[in-house]
């Protein structure tokens, strides 16, 4: 079970479905996981959580699931969710994981 999953998402809408799928997978585990923070950092999805000591044997499992979505975020546009032509690019001096289409929109704005 996952608690506090409706925390503020500190990333753009393109990653919302990644986060939602991550929560669904974590929800399936027979342990309580409390989400502490969900953010973008260094162009990757980062999700921080706490887990009660009595469930500590599940930590590796939780980390593995989160890691899978961190890797997915590396090829998912943070703006539109596309997985086409996605790379890490600088926008206004800030490194983001973004597709070429969204990149050119930002560049012109």
Part of the chain binding Zn ion (CB under 5 A), chosen from 34-42, 50-58, 77-85, 87-95: 77-85
Shortest approach of Zn ion to residue 83 CB, angstroms?
9
Binding residue for Zn ion, selected from 7, 70, 80, 91, defined by CB under 5 A: 80
82 binds Zn ion (CB under 5 A): yes
Q: Residues in contact with Zn ion, total (CB under 5 A)?
A: 6
Binding residue for Zn ion, selected from 26, 47, 77, 96, defined by CB under 5 A: 77
Choose between 40 and 79: whose C-beta lies nearer to Zn ion: 79
Query: Residue by residue, what is the 3-state secondary structure of the chain?
Result: CEECCCCCEECCHHHHHHHHHHHHHHHCCCCCEEEEEEEEECCEEEEEEEECHHHHHHHHHHHHHHHHHHHHHCCCCCCCCCCCCEEEEEECCEEEEEEHHHHHHHHHC
Part of the chain binding Zn ion (CB under 5 A), chosen from 24-32, 47-55, 71-79, 89-97: 71-79
Shortest approach of Zn ion to residue 108 CB, angstroms?
14
Distances from the Cα of 44 to the Cαs of 10, 12, 13, 29, 83, in angstroms? 11, 12, 14, 24, 14
The binding site for Zn ion (CB under 5 A) comprises 77, 79-80, 82, 99, 102
């Amino acid at each position: 079970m996952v608690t506090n999953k409706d925390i503020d998402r500190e990333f753009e809408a393109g990653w919302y479905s990644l986060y939602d799928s991550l929560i669904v997978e974590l929800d399936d585990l027979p342990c309580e996981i409390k989400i502490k923070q969900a953010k973008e950092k260094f162009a990757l999805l980062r999700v921080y959580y706490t887990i009660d000591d009595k469930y500590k044997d599940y930590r590796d499992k939780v980390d593995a699931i989160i890691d899978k979505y961190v890797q997915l975020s590396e090829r998912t546009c943070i703006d539109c969710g596309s997985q086409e032509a996605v790379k890490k690019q600088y926008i206004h001096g800030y490194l983001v994981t973004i597709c070429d289409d969204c990149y050119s929109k930002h560049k012109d704005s």
